[in-house]
Chain A
């Protein structure tokens, strides 16, 4: 048995988006960023479930911001990618690159010379 650290596609996107947003990565901002960049709808349920799971796995950390008068007096929760998260992302990227690299010449006719 090897340790399962594979990231789901959606999880990977969420984490990368958090990276893109930097300091301002809270729930709604992440949702909007993904929707504008990837042109696909993201449901609140899916996003928050994903965020919660990633936090449980230790790939994300979060802290509550200061409550303000907007948002019904509720705080924002800002997310950041932990070291573990960064490693997982890197791994995911590398394993894919490796796979691309090992595709024999001429198999992907659309992209004959990927590397």
Chain B
């Protein structure tokens, strides 16, 4: 007699109506016949097909059931008793499930928010941003999200497929209402078509005409309420740089999941006069963003080709140096666009992937615990199951019993998870910089997901122990010769290995991230950012009073030094100028350049490698001297640069000048930007009438009573530049901000790795409890035979520890692989220290051992008399 495989037998059990035992008999007979006549595999296949064909019968057959309600309540009662009896196991299950579920909820919210960016605009899929790739001289190209002012006129009438196009210059300025100035950091200068591209509901005014006249302005509801206390503000006046604008529209504020932030929209036609000439005329520059809305019939490739054609024809720019424009779908900008000049901090698709993967893994870990513990616990219930079988209980009734218990646990866990998620969401928002919230009763994804998980955990995880028990013979269960199968289950071993591999990967990764971050923190920037305050010189007028401000500031003894530069000392140098080392050289090379005050290097504590710094004694320095950093020396291909001539140019934002000078010094490389990037080559020169002005003030102060010093700085500012609000930031904080993403990454990884090891440990703790209970007698005999407690502990723990060791071997290379990838995002990075893996391994082993130790010790100390005497 050939029997079908166990899994098919179980399926058969479930699918045949209870009241028709003959049906199963027919199946088995047919299976035997087919298996002997043809082949087992064919018999298996046909059996499966037949089982499927029999399923509808279940809906037709009327089982003679005794009051299902009574059965359900009995099931519930038994479930409650069981759960209460095994308090520890219930607690571990519920705790593990609820914590991991609450994390899943939070991550789902986060991922959903990240994916929803800009989709709220009506017809968002038709909107694109035009971005460009610009030549930097030679083969160098730099990608930018911005375009020139001139792209719109270039294409708006001559390129097919365009429904509307708008420029957007996101900026901040001071607006005046009545006679009160307000710093407004989020506004935009845009074309009148702005709201044709970004379709947004208007509360007041008409979206299509609101920006038509140069003296119009449109504000969002929150701004209107902030300044006027009402959204009924049509016709009200506000002042920008002494010019009056009339409010002609109020729009619904852009939601937080928009890739830009702006509250006021000024028509570009009204502010154009303030733009420098080069913005209006320079075709190669990047000054603002250009967005388009496409028609229904539209091809991205065709459109990009058409722009290139326009660049060649209209601008007559045909060589390789011409800018190349391309389109970015609006909905992809937040996650996939990472240029140097984005409108804000964008998210990253990698983070979304990492988060989703972690959510799934954490959830899996909890499920594994659950399955492992329930199957282990079910061994104790052999007698219950056996007795029920003898009394005529059917497979399905038993299955239902186990599933009821699962449901109870799942519902409890889910409730706690929801509460946990609600409680932790403010912290999570702080960490992720979002404003998320949820309501499980109206939220289809969260609510639906919860239902699905409930059913999954209840039905599937509940079926696992039943599967084990139902395969065992009834007689075996009732007699004490209970040697249940699966006590050395391969499945369980595999699951434990999986759990601990995950823990090891996460812990090793966390340690590597920590290592890299402390490397960044400790690494010498080349300049000293401690107690330096950066103050933006907000207007040219203020910048021109630099000497006055400096002298005023230095009167305070707490101010150690004051210097200024055109480039913020914590940002990449953005101005590129052309240089020739040799006047006869044909092509000039572009090199990042910055203008500094005379004592800049001293104030920033930069080290000179050779030559001297700028000095007042050399009166020619202002117009002639150049200082290069080491990278620039290398970039320009100079050896022994001191005294060499360098022919460059300067630009005042409206006029170009030739500046032929001499290299007077080389400064040791220092980091303007983050350690993600290599140090840029930089050419420094002094500010003069022929250069751009200063944009930033660097004030080094003493560490005593910083708030007082800042107050005095503010007082000086008010006296010299009172028309603008005082703004400042600490340079060391600005430096640290470069690594915000890494800090966040670290925090999240730390949380996850702690959680994963906690879940793994909890699981192991629970498992050993059951395992040691099962081996009570064995331990008793061993003790009588003279085994010592350490020996017993070794015997009890060695099997589990082996699994953890295997997990190490699996986890290490995976962690190494992923973290090498992560580290490659840094130009300056650590080598992965192999000791990290050893430490991880030892820590995880130790934790695992401690989890096992508790129960091993307990069982080893039981008086063997007690454990052996039963019955």
Which A residues contact B (CB, under 8 angstroms)?
A: 26-28, 43-46, 48-49, 52-53, 64, 70-72, 74-77
Any A CB within 8 A of the CB of B3: yes
In the complex formed, the residue of B with least CB distance to A30 is B26
B55 proximity list for chain A (CB < 8 A): 45
B15 to chain A, nearest CB (A): 10
B61 proximity list for chain A (CB < 8 A): 52
B18-70, CB < 8 A from A: 20-30, 32, 49-50, 52-57, 60-61
Partner of B25, one of A45, A49, A53, A72: A72
- Determine if A76 and B60 form an interchain contact, defined as CB atoms under 8 angstroms apart: no
Which B residues contact A (CB, under 8 angstroms)?
A: 1, 3, 20-30, 32, 49-50, 52-57, 60-61
A75 proximity list for chain B (CB < 8 A): 21-22, 25
10 new A-B contacts at CB < 8 Å, known A28-B29, A28-B30: A43-B53, A44-B30, A44-B53, A45-B50, A45-B52, A45-B53, A49-B57, A70-B1, A71-B26, A74-B22
In the complex formed, the residue of B with least CB distance to A75 is B22
A45 proximity list for chain B (CB < 8 A): 50, 52-57
- Determine if B60 and A53 form an interchain contact, defined as CB atoms under 8 angstroms apart: yes
A72 proximity list for chain B (CB < 8 A): 3, 24-25, 28
B1 proximity list for chain A (CB < 8 A): 70
* The 6 A-B residue pairs with the shortest CB-CB distance in the complex, in nearest-first order: A45-B53, A74-B25, A77-B22, A71-B25, A72-B28, A44-B50
Given contacts A27-B23, A64-B22, contact A71 B50 (CB under 8 A): no
A52 proximity list for chain B (CB < 8 A): 20, 57, 60-61
B56 proximity list for chain A (CB < 8 A): 45, 49
- Determine if A26 and B22 form an interchain contact, defined as CB atoms under 8 angstroms apart: yes
A-B contact pairs, 14 of them (CB 8 A): A26-B26, A28-B29, A43-B53, A45-B55, A48-B20, A48-B54, A52-B60, A52-B61, A64-B22, A70-B1, A71-B25, A74-B21, A74-B24, A74-B25
Partner of B23, one of A43, A46, A48, A70: A48
- Determine if A28 and B26 form an interchain contact, defined as CB atoms under 8 angstroms apart: yes
State the CA gap A63–B508 with chains docked (Å): 68
In the complex formed, the residue of A with least CB distance to B12 is A72
State the CA gap A26–B21 with chains docked (Å): 13
- Determine if B22 and A44 form an interchain contact, defined as CB atoms under 8 angstroms apart: no
B57 proximity list for chain A (CB < 8 A): 45, 48-49, 52
Partner of A76, one of B22, B49, B52: B22
A46 proximity list for chain B (CB < 8 A): 53
A49 proximity list for chain B (CB < 8 A): 56-57, 60
A44 proximity list for chain B (CB < 8 A): 26-27, 30, 50, 53-54
A84 to chain B, nearest CB (A): 20
In the complex formed, the residue of A with least CB distance to B1 is A70
B29 proximity list for chain A (CB < 8 A): 28, 70-71
Most chain-A Cβ atoms within 10 A of its Cβ — which of B20, B24, B32, B60?
B20
A70 proximity list for chain B (CB < 8 A): 1, 29, 32
State the CA gap A74–B60 with chains docked (Å): 22
A100 to chain B, nearest CB (A): 34
- Determine if B20 and A77 form an interchain contact, defined as CB atoms under 8 angstroms apart: yes
- Determine if B53 and A27 form an interchain contact, defined as CB atoms under 8 angstroms apart: no
A77 proximity list for chain B (CB < 8 A): 20, 22
State the CA gap A53–B57 with chains docked (Å): 10
State the CA gap A82–B1 with chains docked (Å): 35
B62 to chain A, nearest CB (A): 9
In the complex formed, the residue of A with least CB distance to B29 is A71
A26 proximity list for chain B (CB < 8 A): 22, 26
A29 to chain B, nearest CB (A): 9
- Determine if A27 and B26 form an interchain contact, defined as CB atoms under 8 angstroms apart: yes
B54 proximity list for chain A (CB < 8 A): 44-45, 48
B103 to chain A, nearest CB (A): 44
B3 proximity list for chain A (CB < 8 A): 72
A59 to chain B, nearest CB (A): 16
A64 to chain B, nearest CB (A): 6
State the CA gap A45–B50 with chains docked (Å): 7
B566 to chain A, nearest CB (A): 83
- Determine if B28 and A74 form an interchain contact, defined as CB atoms under 8 angstroms apart: yes
State the CA gap A96–B24 with chains docked (Å): 37
State the CA gap A47–B10 with chains docked (Å): 22
In the complex formed, the residue of B with least CB distance to A28 is B26
State the CA gap A28–B26 with chains docked (Å): 6
B859 to chain A, nearest CB (A): 41
State the CA gap A52–B61 with chains docked (Å): 8
In the complex formed, the residue of A with least CB distance to B31 is A72
A33 to chain B, nearest CB (A): 14
A27 proximity list for chain B (CB < 8 A): 22-23, 26
State the CA gap A74–B28 with chains docked (Å): 9
In the complex formed, the residue of B with least CB distance to A44 is B50
B49 proximity list for chain A (CB < 8 A): 43
State the CA gap A1–B794 with chains docked (Å): 83
- Determine if B25 and A43 form an interchain contact, defined as CB atoms under 8 angstroms apart: no
- Determine if B53 and A71 form an interchain contact, defined as CB atoms under 8 angstroms apart: no
A57 to chain B, nearest CB (A): 12
In the complex formed, the residue of B with least CB distance to A53 is B60
B868 to chain A, nearest CB (A): 38
A4 to chain B, nearest CB (A): 18
B22 proximity list for chain A (CB < 8 A): 26-27, 64, 74-77
In the complex formed, the residue of B with least CB distance to A70 is B1
State the CA gap A45–B16 with chains docked (Å): 10
State the CA gap A46–B32 with chains docked (Å): 21
State the CA gap A49–B56 with chains docked (Å): 8
State the CA gap A76–B22 with chains docked (Å): 5
B20 proximity list for chain A (CB < 8 A): 48, 52, 77
In the complex formed, the residue of B with least CB distance to A71 is B25
State the CA gap A48–B29 with chains docked (Å): 15
State the CA gap A72–B642 with chains docked (Å): 98
In the complex formed, the residue of A with least CB distance to B22 is A77
State the CA gap A28–B23 with chains docked (Å): 9
State the CA gap A76–B29 with chains docked (Å): 10
B63 to chain A, nearest CB (A): 12
A56 to chain B, nearest CB (A): 8
State the CA gap A17–B423 with chains docked (Å): 69
- Determine if A71 and B60 form an interchain contact, defined as CB atoms under 8 angstroms apart: no
A74 proximity list for chain B (CB < 8 A): 21-22, 24-25, 28
B64 to chain A, nearest CB (A): 14
In the complex formed, the residue of A with least CB distance to B53 is A45
A46 to chain B, nearest CB (A): 7
B30 proximity list for chain A (CB < 8 A): 28, 44
B21 proximity list for chain A (CB < 8 A): 64, 74-75
State the CA gap A76–B56 with chains docked (Å): 21
B52 proximity list for chain A (CB < 8 A): 45
In the complex formed, the residue of A with least CB distance to B27 is A44
B56 to chain A, nearest CB (A): 6
State the CA gap A33–B120 with chains docked (Å): 66
B23 proximity list for chain A (CB < 8 A): 27, 48
State the CA gap A73–B807 with chains docked (Å): 45
State the CA gap A28–B50 with chains docked (Å): 13
State the CA gap A52–B17 with chains docked (Å): 11
State the CA gap A64–B19 with chains docked (Å): 11
State the CA gap A48–B3 with chains docked (Å): 22
State the CA gap A53–B30 with chains docked (Å): 22
A9 to chain B, nearest CB (A): 19
B32 proximity list for chain A (CB < 8 A): 70
A75 to chain B, nearest CB (A): 6
State the CA gap A31–B23 with chains docked (Å): 13
State the CA gap A28–B1 with chains docked (Å): 17
In the complex formed, the residue of B with least CB distance to A27 is B26
B53 proximity list for chain A (CB < 8 A): 43-46
State the CA gap A53–B13 with chains docked (Å): 22
State the CA gap A27–B23 with chains docked (Å): 8
A111 to chain B, nearest CB (A): 37
A76 proximity list for chain B (CB < 8 A): 22, 25-26
In the complex formed, the residue of A with least CB distance to B47 is A44
B712 to chain A, nearest CB (A): 90
In the complex formed, the residue of A with least CB distance to B46 is A44
B584 to chain A, nearest CB (A): 93
